[in-house]
Amino acid sequence: MKLTSKWLLWFVLVTVYAAVIGGLFYYNLFKFVFDKKLQNEMVEMVRFRAPQLVQGLAAKPTQVSFPEVSQMKDMMQNDARVKNIVYLNYDGSIRWHENTKFMGMSYSDYDNSVGFDTNAVVHAIRSGSPRAILASKGEVYDMAIPLLAKGNRVAGVVNLTVSRAAARDLIRASMVRYAVGAIIMILLIGGVLYLFLLLRVIRPLNALKDSIDAVSFNNLSLGYPERKDEIGDVAKATQGLLGKISEEMKSLEHGEIMALEKEKTWWKAIFAVAVPKGTRAIVVDENNNVLYTNFELKEPEDRKIHLLDIFDGRQQEIIHVVGEALENPTKVLRGSVVNANVKCVVKAVQLPDDAGKNRIVVVLEPEK
């Protein structure tokens, strides 16, 4: 898998992970903020009317007054979020209900016949502070807001059933905005990062690859522009390696040249002792390239001298003898050939293999 594909995969995985985690965080944050706002608005709505309600509770502890009834109806009519109101005395009995048959009923009787959504009323009476509990699978809040008289004594409780529909709509709209914003940010950041990766990493790497592909034994130069980054360091290290290879090749070539010169000196001494005067001797390798002769031979500068460069194609006998020598190491093969209008006896022998160097000695001795 290429770097761009890996980068794209990891970027998608990381951004999806971050978006999901961020979505959960913001969802709970929005839920807390908007639900808390809803609860505070309900509490403020009741507390705004609390003085008149507490006054009615103090004047007639068991019977609801017309101002109190007016306040209850006003809350239901002016705020669509309020679905139901149960107005209770300090002892939990029903002081006001939209259905008049429940008025005066005790808390336990009402709970048994109709049922409170939660025990928020009990908590509010005991703690003296507002209590909100989710009910109906999160569709509504069952809120109990105590009415405090002098000495923070609970004089009564307003029990509201408040719809969460508006809060949920706000949460949903906020999550949609979050999703759109997250997608836009991912695209912007991803685009910038991709351009950076393309211009600063991918293209320089491709250029470095092309430069390395262009390297050959004839040209061990990288030809890559200098860069002051990690890719430039890799190019510099590669150029250093090529320089070391070049030096090693030069050293090997020099060693081969020196070895060949030593071998020529060795063959010169051998031929001076073993080859009679007037006899021509040639040393060739396994490819029939001439390594040394005991007679003067013009050497071309651009290529090695082949045995066929010395003997024309009509002198097949010498080629035949050399070929047999290659097939029969250490065996002396003989034949005859005409060289410079002189009939000669040709002898060829392949010497024993010396460290992978195959040498064939060809001797042309004029017939007496």
Burial class of residue 65, CB neighbours in 10 A (0-12, 13-18, 19+): middle
Structure tokens at 55: 């006054």
- H or E segment at 182? helix 165-197
Q: What is the pLDDT of residue 163?
A: 94
pLDDT band at 177 (very low <50, low <70, confident <90, very high): very high
Largest interatomic CA distance in the chain = 161
Minimum mean pLDDT among 22-36, 179-193, 293-307: which range? Answer: 293-307
Q: Exposed, middle or buried: residue 67 (CB in 10 Å: 0-12, 13-18, 19+)?
A: middle
Tell me the percentage of the chain whose pLDDT exceeds 70.
95
Q: Sort 157 into a burial class: Cβ within 10 Å, 0-12 / 13-18 / 19+.
A: buried
Q: Give the single-character DSSP code of 353.
A: P
Token duo for residue 305 = 């001298």
In the CATH hierarchy, which top-level class contains the domain 3-172? alpha beta
Q: What's residue 119's pLDDT? A: 92
- Per-residue model confidence (pLDDT) at position 214: 82
CA 79, distance to chain mean position in Å, is 54
Tens of pLDDT, residue by residue over 204-217, are 888 888 888 888 77
- Residue 80 to residue 144: CA distance in whole angstroms: 18
The CATH number given to 275-366 is 3.30.450.20
pLDDT at 92 over 80: yes
d(CA 51, CA 34): 27
DSSP summary character for residue 199:
I
Residue 322 has pLDDT above 70, yes or no: yes
Q: What is the pLDDT of residues 97-122, one digit of tens each?
A: 999 999 999 999 999 999 999 999 99
Residue 166's nearest CA partner among 59, 38, 329, 67 is: 38
Q: What's the sign of the alpha-carbon dihedral 12, 13, 15, 16?
A: positive
Of 324 and 141, the structure prediction assigns the larger pLDDT to: 141
Question: So what's the pLDDT on residue 133?
Answer: 95
The separation between CA 202 and the C-alpha centre of its own chain, rounded to angstroms, equals 13
What is the mean predicted confidence (pLDDT) over 174-187?
A: 91
* Average of per-residue pLDDT values in the chain: 85
